[in-house]
Copies of this chain bind each other. A is one copy, B any other.
Amino acid sequence: MRMKQTIPSSYVGLKINEWYTHIRQFHVAEAERVKLEVEREIEDMEEDQDLLLYYSLMEFRHRVMLDYIKPFGEDTSQLEFSELLEDIEGNQYKLTGLLEYYFNFFRGMYEFKQKMFVSAMMYYKRAEKNLALVSDDIEKAEFAFKMAEIFYNLKQTYVSMSYAVQALETYQMYETYTVRRIQCEFVIAGNYDDMQYPERALPHLELALDLAKKEGNPRLISSALYNLGNCYEKMGELQKAAEYFEKSVSICKSEKFDNLPHSIYSLTQVLYKQKNDAEAQQKYREGLEIARQYNDELFVELFQFLHALYGKNIDTESVSHTFQFLEEHMLYPYIEELAHDAAQFYIENGQPEKALSFYEKMVHAQKQIQRGDCLYEI
């Protein structure tokens, strides 16, 4: 038996955009057809108040279109549609603005889901021009949160930070928005991490952990614990890092979360860096097994890398195999980090020539990261 899939609201939003295009071209039959499709999909859709509002606005706009052509019955041959459109958009100034807002907002969300971040940013920025028409505070905060999220993904740290703070200020005023508050704190902490200030991220993550506990939300609790571990690792406090990763792992295990391989991997890495070889070895074996069970190819590779580099005898071939895998999949952030770790390791083991080649790999990866998914062709 297969569970019925829930349709993401960004997908339905895109369909409403299509509906809007037909409406603005006075394609009545197509508009009616897409309208029906939208209504069918809304029944199986994830909960999303914004989308339902967008739907209602569009339904109203649909009726406006019909009212304008009704006097002419079936025969629309004498109509000048461009003039009608101007007339409608002039009279329905606020409605048009709001529709433009949602049109771009949902298109942005859709692009975000496809990981087309630059394109998502462009649609969100277009939506922002009509944000003043949105009167609800929570809806404005929702928009600011989406902006914080997209700019965090694009590493536009300062911009992301300013939107996250804006969203947080609103969410703090409402008790029912704890989950979003926690997510805002995560984005702020992530930005501090990107700015190389892990110590400033700490209080935000501790607050997020408290709130997540009060909510009793295991996913958010384990994320907060994981992020805290990551923070302490960056600060060089490996013992504390290991403790937090351990706690996060144990929740991921009991809840069967799909990021279990990732959590065990981070724990294993810290144990190796602490030179706690016995425990590291054990976690490596357990983690590799679990990564295989989860069919998580990336983490199978990464566990093998840890063992090859930090295990009893360095396995140079296996190390280069992992880098080959990461390069093929263009996983440059992993390459940057692991190349730096490998360089460090070879320095400590008195092999400067080896270390150098990893530094060169790291610099190359940094360049690729900066090139990013550059979509600008001006």
Task: Give me the interface of A with B, judged by CB distance under 8 Å.
Answer: 118, 121-122, 125, 129, 132, 151, 154, 156-159, 161-162, 165, 188, 191-192, 194-197, 200, 204, 340, 343, 347, 352-353, 355-356, 359, 363, 366-368, 370-372, 374, 376-378
By beta carbon, the residue of chain B nearest A368 is B196
Contacts of A159 in B (CB 8 A): 121, 151, 156, 159
Min Cβ gap A103→B in Å is 18
Contacts of A370 in B (CB 8 A): 194-196
Among B161, B192, B355, B363, which residue has its beta carbon within 8 angstroms of that of A356?
B355
- The oligomer's copy count stands at 2
Contacts of A125 in B (CB 8 A): 162
**Chain A's interface: helix, strand, loop or mixed, by majority?**
helix
Ordered by A's residue number, 13 sampled pairs between the chains whose C-beta atoms are within 8 Å are A121-B162, A122-B162, A156-B158, A159-B159, A188-B378, A192-B376, A194-B370, A195-B370, A195-B374, A196-B367, A200-B374, A200-B376, A204-B378
Q: How far is the CA of A19 from the CA of B151 in the complex (A)?
A: 37
Among B192, B194, B352, B378, which residue has its beta carbon within 8 angstroms of that of A352?
B352
Q: How far is the CA of A66 from the CA of B340 in the complex (A)?
A: 67
Min Cβ gap A372→B in Å is 7
By beta carbon, the residue of chain B nearest A371 is B196
